[in-house]
Structure 1
């Protein structure tokens, strides 16, 4: 489940974010408690709590005192907006720079994307 590329608490946060973006976790849906999460994945509860705390700080989860953690009402939109910005910065912009460096007209890049989308 977890790999060595990044801290486990970040991987926990990313997994929950992915579940929200994909729709596996809905807005206002309760998520596993940190103790349940830690037991299920056999990790330290403090590590799980750190991942959950990050999500609370980011506005992705919120706490209901005495009940548990829930997906924030705007979490999916918030995450999708951030990922769109990252997609353009990390994928599209470098692709455009590379196309220009290679002398590939942007209209050819756009055409290729359209053909790929139709396949």
Structure 2
């Protein structure tokens, strides 16, 4: 992953989201030790304090837990916590924005639903 320094999203949020994606993709599993702030800082050429901030967000959300002197580890519930958060926050925001844009463009609910179905079919490889 390459961090986007031009993004409106702070680097520490991008770090947290990258780690979340690694967890939901099962590249990092429950009870597995996560990268340290220094490893993340070296990987992404950022300040260790920035990396620590990203890790602390995930610890506050109960995605990671600390073992004194050993580092941070993934919780049993991490994947479910992340999926729930992304569904209830990220996806909901995207849907609200999509519906607002459709309304501005006078796209009917039926047309919008069909567009979503068509996009889903394309992504899943069903054609169209």
Runs of 4+ in structure 1 over 3 Å off:
100-103
Aligned Cα RMSD in Å? Answer: 2.1
Shift in Å, 1:97: 3.1
Distance 1:39-1:111 versus aligned 2 partners, 3 A rule? closer
2:66 matched residue in structure 1: 63
Equivalent in 25, 29, 34 of residue 31 of structure 1: 34
Q: Matched residue pairs, number?
A: 119
Q: Which runs of 5+ in 2 are unaligned?
A: 122-126
Equivalent in 5, 11, 25 of residue 14 of structure 2: 11
TM-score normalized with structure 2 length: 0.76
Task: Point out which structure has higher relative CO (alpha carbons under 8 A, 6+ apart).
Answer: 1
TM-score normalized with structure 1 length: 0.80
Give the Cα separation in 1 of the matches to 2:90 and 2:47.
32
1:59-98 aligned at under 5 Å gives the runs 59-98=62-101
Q: Which runs of 5+ in 1 are unaligned?
A: none
